Amino acid sequence: MLRHRRGRHQPQRRRDARRGARRSGRRGRRRRNQVSDAFSRTRDAARRCDGVVCRRVAVRPADAYGAVARRALRDARPGAEAADFLEAIGVPAFKTGSGELTNLPLQRHIARKHKPMIVSTGMSTPEEIDRTVQTVRAEGAPFALMHCTSTYPTPYEHVQLGYISRLQERYRVPVGLSDHTLGSYMAFAAAATGANLFEKHVTVSRSLPGPDQQGSMEPAELRELVQGIRAIEKANGATKTIQPGEQDVRNMAHHSVVSIREIAAGATIAAGDVWAKRPGTGIPARQLDEVIGRVAKRSIPADRLIRWEDLEPAL
């Protein structure tokens, strides 16, 4: 009886298993489609927003990145074989995360490809950064560093923006901020203080699952961030000149030597006869003392700009 019952239900079990497999396959396909769609929307948003580091944003198809992730799970040398694969599909540069900073064999392997590297430095010590920089430099690869705090999201007091300039001074390479704070404040501050690069995680929706979704930016926020950084780049000059458009304001706002009472022709101008008033189109206020003691060539009404031609030549 038991054998008969087991045999009778065996086809049903097989049918259930096949249905389960089909459902699982459909779920997998839906998930892959969702990921691909999300990737495409992020790529398109990035292209519309303009890149923060470079003017054009080149994004590889989602299945290429999926292939990298799948290879990483089965590689005998995790990271190294993924880097080889990325080189094979033609990436122009390599970015290593903070978790790879102390993986000197991997850093060396990538540096030997002699493509530009961007190296994140989160959750590390100055000594560890030193060792990695020495390793990469020994292979002759060009590189930049990313100052980073590896908490999601990062509290403002843990960002330590001032360390960007210290890294720039110590290593004489471009240094950026890999930002995991909420919002755009740190991006704008980093741009204003001289960061050369900027990295921010982007998502099509913070409602998606994942460890860093809550600290990521949605496309509209990314657009605003890029526009803000571009504005700060324009504002970051360090020279002082009279800018176009300032001259008209200067003429109105500066002060000139003005008679504060009537001065008769032939009179010697006294300190009580003149003062500095707007506009700034006459004798500059700084030359008031040069006017005092001069002789008026002609009668000068009260409250009038004094001109050099109103005065006799100095003796």
Q: Delimit the domains of the chain by residue range.
A: 24-59+93-235, 246-310
When pLDDT is averaged across residues 63-72 and rounded to a whole number, the result is 48
pLDDT in tens, 16-34: 666 665 665 565 555 555 5
- 24-59+93-235 shares its CATH topology with 246-310: no
CATH T-level fold of 24-59+93-235: TIM Barrel (3.20.20)
**Cis status of the peptide bond prior to 153, with omega within 30 of 0:** yes
**pLDDT reading at 87 higher than 60:** yes
1-15, 40-54, 189-203, 286-300: least confidently modelled range: 40-54
Cα gap 56→43, rounded to integer Å: 11
**Cis status of the peptide bond prior to 174, with omega within 30 of 0:** no
Q: What is the CATH number of domain 246-310?
A: 3.90.1210.10
Contacts 24+ apart (CB under 8 A), 81-85: 83/109, 83/110, 83/113
For the chain, the straight-line distance linking the first and the last C-alpha, in angstroms and rounded, comes to: 136
Cα gap 7→26, rounded to integer Å: 29
pLDDT in tens, 175-231: 999 999 999 999 999 999 999 999 999 999 988 888 778 778 999 999 999 999 999
Contact 295, 311 (CB under 8 A): yes
Distances from the Cα of 100 to the Cα of 26, 91, 223, angstroms: 36, 19, 30
pLDDT band, very low/low/confident/very high, at 78 (cuts 50, 70, 90): confident
